[in-house]
Amino acid sequence: MAYPFQLPELGYAHDALEPHIDARTMEIHHGKHHAGYTAKLNAALEGHGSLHGFSAEKLLRAIHSLPAEIRGAVRDNGGGFHNHALFWDILTPGGSDAPTGKLAAAIDATFGSFGTFKEKFQGTAAGQFGSGWGWLCVDAMGGLSCFGTANQDSPLMTGFTPILGVDVWEHAYYLSYQNRRPEYLAAFWNVVNWDRVASRYEAAAGGWLTA
Ligand code: MN3
């Protein structure tokens, strides 16, 4: 997808992730917040025809090479566009408890166990000060890395490919959880689509996978 970017479909109903993520939050988050990032990304790119053929991923990977006058807007709104598209994609009602296959093996090899990984991911997301995201990413050599970013900063801007992300802006959880971010993060695991995360892992790790 390239300019003009369009708000991606959710792929499930607003209330499909209840009780873990409530319908009203999903309506506002997708229909207002994500739509807003999409519109502002398009507005930033409108007068820059030479960039209209590029995907959001490519624009974010090339952030330091973009014209200075739109770099901030693409960082914020391109990041917001791409981060949320990933987020909806890796959520599903009735997700499985844990990954299988190559991703499961890589998580065990990197973090020691799936349980240890969950603790690290959840701790990273809980500890992200202010608004931001918690991520599991593939690095440039196919390895796994877990870290947070502030605001809408995308891991793509620093050479990482995000495969699992959790939005920790208050707009993502405040209606149901208020200030109880750890409860939201604990509930998040119930709606992760591990098949999609695994697909993203295998696509990103690509040639580095030997198994
Ligand atoms: Mn959000």
Instruction: Tell me the per-residue pLDDT of 70-88, one tens digit each, with 9 for 90 and over.
Output: 999 999 999 999 999 999 9
Is the domain of 54 the same as that of 143? no
Does position 4 have pLDDT exceeding 60, yes or no?
yes
Residues 6+ apart with CB under 8 A from 140: 159, 160
Residue 75 is predicted with a pLDDT of 98
CA of 87 from ligand 1 middle (Å) equals 9
User: How much is the pTM?
Assistant: 0.97
Q: How many domains does the chain have?
A: 2
Does position 129 have pLDDT exceeding 90, yes or no?
yes
Is the domain of 51 the same as that of 107? no
Rounded CA gap, 164 and 65, in Å?
A: 26
Residue 39: give the domain boundaries.
23-89
Name the 3-class secondary structure at 200: helix
- Give Rg (Cα) of the chain: 17
Which tens digits make up the pLDDT trace of 142-167?
Answer: 999 999 999 999 999 999 999 999 99
Rounded CA gap, 50 and 107, in Å?
A: 40
Is the domain of 105 the same as that of 72? no
Is the domain of 131 the same as that of 204? yes
CA of 59 from ligand 1 middle (Å) equals 20
CA of 102 from ligand 1 middle (Å) equals 29
Beta strand spans in 44-169 (E): 132-138, 144-150, 161-167
Q: Tokens in use for 157?
A: 């801007």
CA of 62 from ligand 1 middle (Å) equals 23
Residue 210 is predicted with a pLDDT of 64
Is the domain of 174 the same as that of 112? yes
Is the domain of 198 the same as that of 135? yes
Look at 14-28, 125-139, 163-177, 197-211 and tell me which has the smallest mean pLDDT.
Answer: 197-211
Is the domain of 83 the same as that of 129? no
Burial of 210 (0-12, 13-18, 19+ CB in 10 A): exposed
Does position 60 have pLDDT exceeding 80, yes or no?
yes
Residue 45 is predicted with a pLDDT of 98
